[in-house]
Amino acid sequence: MGIAPATAKQQSANRLDSWLQKGYHSTMQWMEKRADERGDIGKYYPEAKSVISLGLNYFTGNASPHPDVGKISNYAWGDDYHDLIKSRLYNLLGEIKYKYPKINGIACVDTSPIMEKDWAQRAGLGWVGKHTNLITRDYGSWIFLGELVLDVKLEYDTPFEDDLCGTCTACLDACPTNAFPEPYVLDSNKCISYLTIEHRGDLPAELEDKLSGWIYGCDICQEVCPWNIKFPQNSNEDCWQPRSNLNNRAINEWKGLTEDEYRKLFKGSAVKRAKYKGLMRNINHYKLQSKN
């Protein structure tokens, strides 16, 4: 964890505006609708004085390299992280308010309109890598982020100023859809995670055969990162452990998934985000892939 002052940072807002203007958010219109709040936390929570950033390790292993496995990003093998992280943030906020009743604040996960990776870097947790994920010295980029925004000034941590990616371009080179137009910039239109989770309707014809076996999300740019190869630590959280063999399920088994089975299998899971129709679209494109 780390703490940063809740001050606006024009450089971050400018980067966000440039990213949106280039259409790199694709159909994620909520990114654009609340851009002012993302760029200036005072517009989201006017009383903000401090941002406490917290990171939680979720690593439980890499996706299976077996060619017949329909791969799911490892963050979604277990329970929905939104539920657990927000619950713990509210518990922490409750503890703070119990000891200091005059303090008020809000709890945020990645559904809130704040730039959480930017706040985490300002709080000293790590740096934003070329693949646009936050990288930490201790856990690589295998962490979930959450924030408490409080209306009181605190003692602040030193921002993480170093860029420890150096000259490495492993993540950029490994992306099968060339989703990085330049280092530190992600074009969601080409990102496998975006395409398999957020995108609705048919996949772009030029990308539908490049999913590389992923049926929900993608970990390629993280799996090749030297920090993730050298320093992963298995999470001790039971809720992140793979449920129902999600990390090793053969594609032929996925193809027979009914909507009722989908609802039961992914109850309380982040995979619900893709909906049954979207997941089956991805699964069916695995068949297309294997023919090419």
Catalytic machinery residues: 110
Buried b (16+ CB within 10 A) or exposed e, 74-101: bbbbbbbbeebbbeebeebbeebeeeee
Q: Report whether 172 contacts 139 (CB < 8 A).
A: no
Q: Name which of 140, 116, 76 is nearest 271 in CA terms.
A: 76
Q: Report whether 79 contacts 266 (CB < 8 A).
A: no
Give the burial class of 237: count Cβ atoms within 10 A of its Cβ; 0-12 exposed, 13-18 middle, 19 or more buried: middle
Q: Report whether 36 contacts 106 (CB < 8 A).
A: no
As beta bridge partners, residue 105 has 150
Q: Report whether 221 contacts 175 (CB < 8 A).
A: yes
Distance CA 142, CA 2 (A): 17
β-strands 134-135, 127-128 pairing: antiparallel
Buried b (16+ CB within 10 A) or exposed e, 166-192: eebebbbeebebebbeeeeebbbbbbb
- The amino acid that residue 156 corresponds to is Y
Question: What is the DSSP-derived secondary structure letter of residue 231?
Answer: S
